[in-house]
Amino acid sequence: DAKGGGKGLRVYESDLDSKNPRRLTLVAELRGALARDEISVHVQPQARLDSGAVVGAEALVRWHHPELGVVPPDEFIPVAERSGLIGPLTTRVLDASLAAVAAWRAAGHPLGISVNLSTRSLHDADLVEEVSRLLRRHDVPASALTLEVTESSVMADPARATALLHQLRDLGVRLSVDDFGTGYSSLSYLKRLPVQEVKIDRSFVTSLQAGGEDAAIVRAIIDLGGHLGLEVVAEGVEDAAVWELLSTMGCDVVQGWHLGRAMPVAEFAGWLATRGT
């Protein structure tokens, strides 16, 4: 059975059909996962290119199923979205992320945390109150939280998403456009959205080479970000050569395997200590 057994759990488009028993199983499993605490958050560091200082981390959700093993977020987020579980899942991720950032700050590391929002979350009227409640609960300044949205999730319902983003911005939270360059509306929308950051999609970054096509795109995004007063983050930086190139191009912040992989929250303070920054 290609869809079952073993370690890799695969979700095919057909599984998302509500009549498909496989989907029902996955939904039930995910509901159970929330109850059984199989959901955790890993964090991947981000550093400033000018100083090399670690300035924060991105929270990346993990599902560790006792039999299926690690189920990748790309596979279960769509299921969560279609089954009404994305709200509780997002709350769980926000809660764990803000707990982590509160602990780092208490230990003398004034870091920020970035959390991904899915399309459905941008249509969730309760999200603003949830974010506000969790910031208070963990006593974390709103400016230490960045919420990442993709262009395509905004474009699913631009009026509604924009209104929600303004409400989140009013809380003092930072907003970032994730996977930038892969959507279809980039330029005109960027000006209208209340965002402070753009993240260059890793498809342009990972094999970046001076003089290549990706370099032209990355340079254009960095210049655009600069003109609009936005912080520019490059993700998927896997080696020193790309790091150097981004530095000469004037990119602000990097994230990727060359700096560090996503790791359990409990390992992050130790990782920071070994870096000595």
| Residue among 15, 151, 178, 197 that touches Ca ion (CB under 5 A) | 178
Q: Between 15 and 151, name the residue whose CB sits nearer to Ca ion.
A: 151
What residues between 5 and 44 interact with ligand C2E by CB under 6 A? 44
Paired sense of beta strands 174-180 and 263-264, if any: unpaired
Q: Residue 112, interface with ligand C2E (CB under 6 A)? A: no
* Closest to ligand C2E by CB, 73 or 225: 73
- According to DSSP, the residues that pair with 115 across neighbouring strands are 59, 147
| Token pair recorded at residue 243 | 């790091």
- Closest approach, Cβ 71 to Ca ion, in A, equals 17
Burial (CB count within 10 angstroms: exposed 0-12, middle 13-18, buried 19+), residue 89:
buried
Residue 148 interacts with Ca ion (CB under 5 A)?
yes
Q: Please tell me whether residue 78 binds ligand C2E under the rule CB under 6 A.
A: no
- Please say which residue, 112 or 236, places its beta carbon nearer to ligand C2E: 236
- Choosing from 45, 112, 225, 256, the residue that interacts with ligand C2E (CB under 6 A) is 256
Nearer to ligand C2E, 87 or 226 (CB): 87
Contact range with ligand C2E by CB under 6 A, out of 21-29, 48-56, 73-81, 157-165: 73-81
Half-sphere exposure of 17 (CA within 13 A, CB side): 7
Distance separating alpha carbons of residues 23 and 38, to the nearest angstrom: 19
Which three-class secondary structure state does DSSP give residue 197? strand
For the purposes of burial, counting CB atoms within 10 Å of the CB of 133, is it exposed (0-12), middle (13-18) or buried (19 or more)?
middle
